[in-house]
Amino acid sequence: MKFTVPNDNLDKHECPLAVIKCVDFRFRTSDQEFIEKGLGFADFDLYSWPGAAKAVLRQNGFKTEFVEHIVSVSRGLHKIKKLLLLWHWDCGGYGGSKSFTDTSAEEKKYCQDLQAVKDILAKELPDDLEIIMAYSKPVPQGLEYQTIE
């Protein structure tokens, strides 16, 4: 089978943003829309891993390999200026929402882990690379995305 898709990006070699997010298919389309329309980034490098970058907290080889890819590929080749750490509600990497006593406990844990991952990566990545943190949660209209300062 052959399938052709138009692509206007083949001559581009730089993008402003890299994103690490969970592999969960339920959030792929919404995450893309948030990044493009909510944050204003049409082009970005995408790293997708179960639990997003939660594995950084285990201080294993994941952190080292992830940092190497960000520095050599996204920063070195694509000249990114920002890194987005994107978490989502009901993440299987945390055992899902059922693993928390309530929604505020879940939100608190995600925010704590986002900050911890940001702090770890900030020590390893170039000083001028801005790290943005965000997560999504369900609301009656769909998903609400929140950036964290």
Q: What is the pLDDT of residue 128?
A: 95
Which residue from 142, 148, 137 is spatially nearest to 84, judged by alpha carbons? 148
Q: What is the pLDDT of residue 11?
A: 81
- CB of 108 closer than 8 Å to CB of 45: no
Q: Please give the chain's pLDDT, 149 residues, in tens.
A: 999 888 888 888 899 999 999 999 999 999 999 999 999 999 999 999 888 888 888 877 888 999 999 999 999 999 999 999 999 999 998 999 999 999 999 999 999 999 999 999 999 999 999 999 999 999 999 999 999 98
Q: What is the pLDDT of residue 9?
A: 81
CA distance 141 to 44: 26
- CB of 111 closer than 8 Å to CB of 104: no
99-137 per-position pLDDT tens digit: 999 999 999 999 999 999 999 999 999 999 999 999 999
CA distance 114 to 111: 5
| Architecture field, domain 17-148 | 3-Layer(aba) Sandwich (3.40)
Q: What is the pLDDT of residue 125?
A: 95
